[in-house]
């Protein structure tokens, strides 16, 4: 099956710094990728839809300037958490879709801890 890889799997940073999380589709091209945030013991909340070569579409309530998304190629999307604060600590998961299938393949997730 299709493989989506996230890096890093865990990251700890100081408050005020920026952190970049990468999401790669390893064996297919993904024109669309999605970023989710998951709070402890909660469901996945869609943050934004990332389209290759264009601006991301953010869900209501998600700060565009806080969570920068770049989808520069058909196999890579990045999420940058800018000026991170402890409340940004969470599990971030990306997914990528193979066109025509309606199915998403998920990365392993990245756990961000902001001290």
- Contacting positions for another protein (CB under 8 A): 4, 6, 31-32, 34, 41-44, 46, 49, 91, 93, 95, 97, 99-109, 111
The least CB distance from residue 14 to another protein, in Å, is 22
The tokens 């943050």 sit on which residue?
A: 47
Nearer to another protein, 22 or 82 (CB): 22
Classify each residue of 54-93 as buried b or exposed e, where b means 16 or more C-beta atoms within 10 Å of its C-beta: eebebeeebeeeebbbebeeebbbbbebeebeeebbbbbb
Q: What is the Cα–Cα distance from 2 to 9, expressed in whole angstroms? A: 19
The least CB distance from residue 74 to another protein, in Å, is 12
Exposure of 62 in the CB half-sphere (CA atoms within 13 A):
19
Nearer to another protein, 3 or 83 (CB): 3
Nearer to another protein, 82 or 91 (CB): 91
DSSP assignment letter at 31: S
The least CB distance from residue 58 to another protein, in Å, is 12
Nearer to another protein, 44 or 76 (CB): 44
């Amino acid at each position: 099956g299709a493989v989506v890889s996230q890096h890093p799997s865990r990251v700890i940073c100081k408050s005020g710094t920026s952190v970049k999380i990468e999401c790669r589709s390893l064996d297919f091209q993904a024109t669309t990728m999605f970023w989710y945030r998951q709070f402890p013991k909660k469901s996945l909340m869609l943050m934004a839809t990332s389209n290759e070569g264009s601006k991301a579409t953010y869900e209501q309530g998600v700060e565009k300037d806080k969570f920068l998304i770049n989808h520069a190629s058909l196999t890579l999307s990045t999420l940058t958490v800018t000026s991170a604060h402890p409340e940004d600590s969470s599990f971030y998961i990306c997914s990528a879709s193979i066109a025509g299938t309606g199915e998403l393949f998920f990365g392993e997730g990245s756990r961000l801890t902001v001290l």
